[in-house]
Amino acid sequence: MSTETARRWFRDVGERADVRIAGRHPFPNMDRQTWYRLYRQQRPSIEAGTAAVAASQGSRDSSVSELNYLDERTRRQARADAMRDLVQEELAEIFDGSL
């Protein structure tokens, strides 16, 4: 996807939702900023889940277990699972009543 396409999509969504930030329609980097802020907030629980698995395998270092025993697809899925609830909770107020 091109940068211009992403900007157009965000502009269109912003117009339909009548959202303005500092008097302007949202830009893709605003979405990324929100995503990374939420990810940083969720990262400890993601690491705690990996640590629990590592501990059950007798490993002291969860990062070694994560790298040695989980493929990238599984790590990505763990991040997605952990983020889903947080994002839904964080954005629930925006979407309540519109679904």
Q: pLDDT tens-digit profile of 3-58?
A: 788 778 878 888 888 888 888 877 777 777 777 888 888 777 777 777 777 777 77
Are the beta carbons of 49 and 70 closer than 8 angstroms? no
Q: 12 to each of 6, 24, 56, 95, how far by Cα in Å?
A: 10, 12, 48, 17
Helices and strands: H and E segment counts in the chain? 4, 0
Higher pLDDT residue, 94 or 82? 82
Q: Which residues pair with 23 in a beta bridge?
A: none
The domain locations on the chain are: 30-95
CA atoms within 13 A on the CB side of 97: 2
Mean pLDDT, rounded, for 61-82 = 77
pLDDT of residue 83: 82
Answer yes or no: is pLDDT of 99 > 50: no
Q: Which amino acid is at 68?
A: N
